[in-house]
Amino acid sequence: MKRIVVNEEMPQFMTDKLKSLFGYEIFKCKKFNKFENAVAAHPDMNYLQVKNNLFTIYDIFDLDIKNNLKSEKLKYPKDVLLNAFCIGEDFICKTDSVYIKALDYAKNIGMNIVGVNQGYVKCNLAVANESEKAVITEDCGIYKTLKDHGYDVLLLETNSVRLDPYKYGFIGGATGNIGGKLVFTGNLLKHPEHKRIFDFCHKHKTECVSLSEDELYDYGSVLLLNLW
């Protein structure tokens, strides 16, 4: 069953808007406390869909919540095991830090492995149009690699997404492509490069939808996944 997966800390009015726009059931991602608190409930840290196979952080660590609360925090690159993303037949990941079983599964079903140097892959990828391989990123390495693989990539010049208490978050973590619409967890008009983003999405026949009137906030991506 397909469900929209969001950070449990996303405001209720935003999840209500997602529900009314798309009709999918909303699943709230709970905090995995081996992650730093600010990102512990980020869907793109906790879940990775590779075709029909869903990998979850709890499956990897086989921990219940009680044990999880007592665990030491995971540090990079151990916190990016599931921070990869599939676009069409491409599995985009940092090959030496992604969960090895997910990587092997992608290889075994014949997916193209696209290796990048950035471990926080999905955090750094907003998908404007999957079929046209149109994406948005702030990461220069991802930009170059995906351009070399035939993607149309909009490289943003500013880091203008909020993620407290960090200096900034990422555009991928503040977006989700649902039903051909690119939803933003905030008001796109408050991003200094909103015109470039609008124009890029218009070029790829993608509607931009703002979920609030606030500045864009990195909640860890809005994901449409096949969940139990």
Tokens 């196979």 sit at which residue?
53
pLDDT reported for residue 227: 83
Residue 215: CB atoms within 10 Å: 16
Backbone angles phi, psi at 107, to 5 degrees: -65, -45
Cα–Cα dist 185/178, whole Å: 13
CB 61 within 8 A of CB 97: no
CB 126 within 8 A of CB 173: no
CB 24 within 8 A of CB 201: no
pLDDT digits (tens, 9 = 90+) for 63-105: 554 555 556 899 999 999 999 999 999 999 999 999 999 999 9
Judge whether residue 167 has pLDDT over 70: yes
Q: What is the mean pLDDT of residues 117-133?
A: 98
pLDDT reported for residue 102: 98
pLDDT digits (tens, 9 = 90+) for 204-219: 999 999 999 999 999 9
Query: Please, how many CA atoms are within 13 Å of residue 120, restricted to the half-sphere of its CB?
Result: 22
Cα–Cα dist 215/200, whole Å: 20
Mean pLDDT over each residue of the chain, to the nearest integer? 95
Cα–Cα dist 65/112, whole Å: 35
- Is the omega angle on the peptide bond into residue 165 within 30 degrees of 0, that is, cis? yes
pLDDT reported for residue 70: 58
pLDDT reported for residue 60: 92
Q: What is the mean pLDDT of residues 192-206?
A: 98
Judge whether residue 155 has pLDDT over 90: yes
CB 156 within 8 A of CB 138: yes
Structure tokens at 96: 């030496």
Cα–Cα dist 83/19, whole Å: 25
Task: Please indicate, yes or no, whether the overall pTM of this predicted structure exceeds 0.85.
Answer: yes
